């Protein structure tokens, strides 16, 4: 079964750091476009970071310079390293799988992990 499971969320102070993990099963993370999508409480969806199968990465302007997406091919895990966190980064963070040839559509999604940035 193709599945994604996120972990690593929690409460962090403004200016702090956190690393989210997305453990994949049933497919190879490095063979697909992968993305992190976040959803602030009561709001819509925002794609924040992506990594292509060739390893190239891109980030939304809202997180550029603060967030880094990476993967561990031996463990089949996707990561999101978040630095200099702000209150507006508070959200549920989902990882999702794209296609082998590029972005395409996202399926499946993980269950999400909640990040709260607050003092």
Q: Which residues bind another protein (CB under 8 A)?
A: 35, 37, 44-47, 50, 58, 60-61, 94, 96, 98, 102-107, 109-112
Helices marked H in 2-105:
none
Identity of the residue, 12 or 96, whose beta carbon is nearer to another protein in the bound complex: 96
Between residues 79 and 106, which has the closer beta carbon with respect to another protein? 106
CB atoms inside a 10 Å sphere around CB 69: 22
In this complex, which beta carbon is closest to another protein, that of residue 13 or of residue 111?
Answer: 111
Query: Of 70, 91, 108, whose CA–CA distance to 9 is shortest?
Result: 91
User: Least distance in Å: CB of 13 to another protein?
Assistant: 26
Least gap, CB of 103 to another protein (angstroms): 4
In angstroms, the Cα distances linking 111 to 6, 34, 98, 108 are: 7, 15, 16, 10
Cα 76 off chain centre by: 14
User: What would the two tokens of residue 48 be?
Assistant: 């924040």
**Distance of closest approach, residue 46 Cβ to another protein, in angstroms:** 7
| Unique residue bearing structure tokens 């972005």 | 103
Q: Which is nearer to another protein, 37 or 91 (CB)?
A: 37
Nearest distance, CB of residue 119 and another protein, angstroms: 26
């Amino acid at each position: 079964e193709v599945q994604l499971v996120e972990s690593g969320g929690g409460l962090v102070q403004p200016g702090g750091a956190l690393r989210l993990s997305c453990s994949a099963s049933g497919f190879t993370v490095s063979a697909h476009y992968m993305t992190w999508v976040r959803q602030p409480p009561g709001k819509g969806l925002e794609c924040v970071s992506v990594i292509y199968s060739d390893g190239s990465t891109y980030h939304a302007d809202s997180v550029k310079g603060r967030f880094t997406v990476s993967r561990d091919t031996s463990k089949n895990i996707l990561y999101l390293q978040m630095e200099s966190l702000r209150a507006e980064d508070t959200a549920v963070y989902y990882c999702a799988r794209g296609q082998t040839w590029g972005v395409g559509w996202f399926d499946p999604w993980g269950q999400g992990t909640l990040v709260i940035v607050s003092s």
